[in-house]
Structure 1
Amino acid sequence: MTIKVFAPASIGNVSVGFDLLGMAVQPVNGELLGDVVAIEGCDGSNQLAMEGPFVDKLPNDPKDNIVFTCIEIFQQALSEKGQEFDWVKLTLEKRMPVGSGLGSSACSIVAALVALNQYYQKPFSEAQLLAMMGQMEAQISGSLHYDNVAPCFLGGLQLMVNDKQIISREIPSFSQCYFVMAYSGINVSTKAAREVLPEQYDKATAIAFGQNLATFIDACYRQDLPQAMSHLKDVLAEPYRSGLLPGFDVCRQGVAELGALASGISGSGPTMFVVTDDKENAEQIQTFLQENYLQSPAGFVYICQTDVHGARLVC
């Protein structure tokens, strides 16, 4: 029997919560924006097949792919539990562009580990799986952070907490909002985008970051959309990363003039996200970004809402 798992795209940081906030998103047109991993038993040794529209951006040798490493890490964890296992074949359908700022590596990692957990009869809890996902993500980005893997796995708007037993808590999101996601078509590696950030910040910046994040979280719990949007500001990363994204500053001004409630960089970029609570306005913003932000034929613009489901089985 073949098991298939889909893992959705996500907005890392959500502007206001650098490394602390992430939100899963899904296109309103029903398309799957994320990766799909299928798993089945096989003989001889573990195998990985790769396909999909962005497969050409992956390493040629399957054993160099993070999904193959997921198999090895998972089976090692099974061995440490004293549980026997058989060999498996995973097929990665790479539907997410690499280096897009949409949690591409997180999608592959989450889909693979959830599929493995399903295949081996759920030997690990959600918290244990999430810890594995963070471990795998750190191998890609060079630092441990959960702002993509947590929402990709659990769905919704997730706040990372300083507790290894919990890791992430879901925060109320705004179901009435549309998130216009514009991937320009260029690649920005998470590692490179982190290297442009300063090693230290001044006290005023630290205070502004804390105040914006606290006020945003408060607004989410009270469902105060105007307050939330007025504090959806990135004082830590965006001032340094916006220069890496051609057209970002011009398009940010343009969508503001169209009535957007807020906008920002998704993860480390180059994808930008724009927030509105009006479907017609979202369509206007989508058209504007298609005409002004895309840098190559690989780019796209989706109108999304919060994905409340996270990783899930698909037919």
Structure 2
Amino acid sequence: MIKIYAPASIGNVGVGFDILGAAITPIDGTLLGDCVSIQSSKTFQLHNHGNFSTQLPGDIKKNITWQAWNWFNKKTKKKTPVSITLKKNMPIGSGLGSSASSIVASVLALNKFYKTNLTQRELINIMGRLEGFISGSVHYDNVAPCYLGGLQLVTNDLFHKTQSLPVFKNWLWIIAWPGIALPTSVSRNLLPQKYNKDICITNSRNLSTFIHALHSNQPELAIRFMTDVLAEPYRIPLIPQFLNTKNAIMQLGALTCSISGSGPTIFSICLDIGVAKKIKKWLEVNFIKNEQGFVHICTIDQLGARRIGS
């Protein structure tokens, strides 16, 4: 049996709307990501398990894992029956790359099962195309870090869709999902079709300075320029008590706070585990809306998707 785990990811990372993404892993060892298992079978089967499997569409052909299998089935022209199990550990519409996690795990598992030996470039192109079925257009800011790990810059270069960026290993990333869904399409539709020149210049300055700070090992400079002027101002009304939450955790010692992907998950960064635990506790009490919501203290997942278990 082949079993692939694909981690959660933070799209945009505040400053990099649609072109930055970071894979994350909880420090307590929790597998915050989806798992896909494949084995031979007498008939085709797709089983959905996990805490959030009830959120998956009832129509099997709308299941992204089925779509990935259908792509490989057509490409290889093999009629080998398979049994696929999707363990859905990621809430849909959370802003943590839920669809990307299922896509990456499915594509890598199917590539191994069918022994298609696709290149990294071919695999990431397929992942981006499948992501487009969910969001309406091709995006790599979640699938790239989920697949490759680390912090990825989406270049859309013909030969290398993404480039890996250096990270500050002492940064602790606290992520909080309140327990409610926010469809990506709703969050994207709030954004303006056009931005004025000053906003564009500010965004360019923030992003370029942030990337320069990563390469020149200036963490304080990087933090100061992790400011989202393109999406966050318009998405604030969608996140329950976002500004109050941001102010509160900044007072507790967070260095920054922003929206993860399209939301409603938020993330903050700090350097001290004691501060991180205080922020986590505050968020659990004041930001989480129901029993499904969660808060995790994370680091950057440098491994990305990988084979686990047996």
Q: Normalization by structure 1: what TM-score?
A: 0.96
Corresponding residue for residue 291 of structure 2? 297
After superposition, what is the alpha-carbon deviation per residue over 1:213-237, rounded to whole angstroms, capped at 9, x for unaligned? Answer: 0000001111211000000011000
Alignment of 1:280 onto 2:280: no
Does 2:12 align with 1:18?
no
Aligned ranges for residues 133-212 of structure 1 at < 5 Å?
Answer: 133-212=127-206
What are the residue-to-residue correspondences of 1:41-190 with 2, within 5 Å? 41-44=40-43, 46-79=44-77, 84=78, 86-190=80-184
1:173 to partner: Cα distance: 0.9
* SS of residue in 2 equivalent to 1:166: coil
In the TM superposition, residue 75 of structure 1 has moved relative to its aligned partner by: 2.4
Compute the displacement of 1:312 (Å).
0.3
User: Is the 1:48–1:90 Cα contact (8 Å) retained in structure 2?
Assistant: yes
Paired residues, number: 309
Q: Name the SS of the counterpart of 1:131 in structure 2.
A: helix
Name the CA distance, whole Å, in 1 between partners of 2:72 and 2:261. 27
Mapped to 2, the partners of 1:40 and 1:189 lie a distance apart of 32
Counterpart contact for 1:247–1:292, Cα < 8 Å? no
Report the identity percentage: 45
1:78: Cα distance to partner? 2.8
Residue pair 1:8, 1:24 contacting (<8 A) in 2 also: yes
> Match of 1:216?
210
- Which position in structure 2 is the counterpart of 1:254? 248
- Shift >6 Å, 4+ stretches: none
Local SS of the residue matching 1:101: coil
Distance 1:189 1:172 in 2: 31
Query: Letter of the aligned partner of 2:76 in structure 1?
Result: L
Alignment of 1:235-274 (within 5 A): 235-274=229-268
TM-score (norm: length of structure 2): 0.97
The C-alpha deviation readout for 1:268-293, integer Å capped at 9, x for no partner, is 00000010011111101101111111
Counterpart code for 1:35:
D
* RMSD of aligned Cα (Å): 1.1
Q: Is the 8 A contact 1:49 1:62 kept in 2?
A: no
Gaps of 5+ in 1: none
Match of 1:39 in 2: 38
